[in-house]
Amino acid sequence: MPKSGQGPARRLSDARETEILAATLAIFSTRGMDGLTMDDLAAAARTSKATLYRLWEGKLGLVVSALQRFHPNIALSDTGSLRGDLLALLQSDPLALRDGSAKASLSTTALLSEAVHASRAHPEIGTVLREQSIGYWASAVDTVIEQAVARGEVPPSHPLRRELGKLVVYAVLGRMLVEGVAPGIARLTEMIDNVVLPAFGLAGPTAAPSPGTPAKTGPPGS
pLDDT surpassing 80 at residue 180: no
Domain that holds residue 105: 72-199
Specify whether 81 is located in the same domain as 65: no
The answer to whether 122 touches 60, Cβ cutoff 8 Å, is: yes
Per residue in 123-175, pLDDT (tens digit) is: 999 999 888 777 788 888 999 999 999 999 999 999 988 888 888 888 877 77
Strand pairing class (71-72; 96-99):
antiparallel
The lowest-confidence range among 10-14, 24-28, 89-93 is: 89-93
**Any domain includes 217:** no
Specify whether 45 is located in the same domain as 90: no
Per DSSP, what are the bridge partners of residue 71? 98
Per DSSP, what are the bridge partners of residue 96? 105
pLDDT band at 217 (very low <50, low <70, confident <90, very high): very low
Specify whether 164 is located in the same domain as 82: yes
pLDDT at residue 4, as a whole number: 54
Specify whether 31 is located in the same domain as 86: no
pLDDT at residue 57, as a whole number: 92
In whole angstroms, give the CA distance from residue 174 to residue 171.
5
The answer to whether 199 touches 164, Cβ cutoff 8 Å, is: yes
pLDDT band at 27 (very low <50, low <70, confident <90, very high): very high
**Any domain includes 204:** no
Higher pLDDT, 8 or 84: 84
Closest CA to 63 of 148, 114, 127, 1: 1
Q: Compute the average pLDDT of residues 3-30.
A: 78
Specify whether 49 is located in the same domain as 77: no
Residue 99 C-beta-side C-alpha neighbours within 13 Å: 21
pLDDT surpassing 80 at residue 210: no
Question: Can you give the CATH number for the domain in which 155 is found?
Answer: 1.10.357.10
Specify whether 42 is located in the same domain as 151: no
Specify whether 114 is located in the same domain as 187: yes
Per residue in 64-94, pLDDT (tens digit) is: 999 988 877 677 889 999 999 998 887 775 5
Specify whether 87 is located in the same domain as 183: yes
In whole angstroms, give the CA distance from residue 70 to residue 136.
11
In whole angstroms, give the CA distance from residue 216 to residue 219.
9
pLDDT surpassing 70 at residue 99: no
Domain count, the chain: 2
Specify whether 64 is located in the same domain as 84: no
**Any domain includes 30:** yes
pLDDT surpassing 80 at residue 10: no
Specify whether 116 is located in the same domain as 77: yes
Helices (H), the chain: 14-35, 38-45, 49-55, 58-69, 82-90, 108-119, 123-128, 135-151, 164-179, 185-191, 197-199
**Any domain includes 220:** no
How many percent of the chain have pLDDT more than 70? 77
